[in-house]
Copies of this chain bind each other. A is one copy, B any other.
Amino acid sequence: MTVRIEDVARLSGVSTATVSRALRGLPGVGGRTRELVLQAAKTLGYTPSPTASSLASGRTHSIGLIQPDMSRWFFSTILECAEQTFRKAGYDALVYSLPDYLGPKRQRFKARDLVGKVDAVLVLSLFFDKQEEAELRSLGVPAVFVSVRQKGYSHVGINDGQAAAQACRHLITLGHKTIGHLSGQTNDLCPFAPSQRRRDGWKQTLTRFNLECSDSLDEAVTIMTASNGYLATKRLLDRRPDITAIMASSDEMAMGAIQAIRERGLAVGRDISVIGIDGHDLGRPFGLTTVAQPVRKQGVTAAEVALKAIEGDLALKTIIFPTKLIERATVGPPPAGRIR
């Protein structure tokens, strides 16, 4: 029904081998011959069958994008930038979501779904255990990890501990002494999770400045959404009404915190300051002070690393981007007459 390589070969009077070479721009084809083939292909409106060429060449020209949930800003932003980078290089983006990756009956990554379908994969914010890492390896293609580290693989991310320290120092500099923290998942399952390191950054900074950093100042959630941040903040304020500032492990959690604070009739940035981490697009209209990470750059860079790996550059790379404090309205000095 559709036009095949043979049709092009016939029209241009050469073999299918030559057509294949000419169309892909391979060397060793006469200038005149190439012209002929290109012309014939154009005339017929020929598009090579991707599955046939994959089967024959062993390359799929598509990349697996494995991540928890693309409806969340951080993931979707990285995915979008990666997709564009891959597309420009002639690769398709095959997304693969693992939404229940933190739940009790945790959904594990299965290589079976991706085997033979991709030339490389990007893994975002997922903590692979031994089993999953074995599955990943069984794919037999290069992988680059974004935002989480996995040893034996290239990694693109930020220094999470440092980002948290940056946020914490900002609050301390303004005079805050009782600083609450909203953590992401920090259990044993993912000791190297960004949320764990952000929590460590908070803790270490408080310690360095001789400030309180007891567990009662920390409230953890599973997934770092606004609504979880909201609930965590209510618990935190119930327990520690003396808090004058909250740093959240993500901007979305910070937004939830703001909601909870306002509901108590307190003024954000006056009664209680709030700072986030991420640099969420909607942080601006929110007036949210935050430590921003270059999300889009990470997406592009991770894709580039994957592309290079496909081309044979298997050297392990670790690319860490700097973060940057963005001062807006949700952080101010602690209230003067606040009861301790």
Chain A interface residues (CB < 8 Å from chain B)? 47, 49-52, 54-55, 60, 62, 69-73, 75-77, 79-81, 83-84, 87, 92-97, 99, 112-113, 115-117, 225-227, 229-230, 252, 255-256, 258-259, 262, 281-282, 284-287
Contact = CB atoms under 8 A, between A and B. Distances in A.
Contacts of A79: 70-71, 76, 95
A80 B84 contact: no
Chain A at the B interface: SS class: helix
B282 A262 contact: no
Contacts of A255: 282, 285-286
Contacts of A80: 69-71, 97, 99
A76 B70 contact: yes
A55 B258 CA distance: 54
Contact of A70 (B70, B87, B112, B226): B70
Contact of A71 (B76, B87, B117, B286): B76
Contacts of A282: 226, 252, 255, 282
Contacts of A50: 115-117
Nearest to A226: B285
B281 A259 contact: no
Given A117-B50, A262-B287, A285-B230, A99 B76 contact: no
B285 A256 contact: yes
Contact of A95 (B72, B83, B112, B225): B83
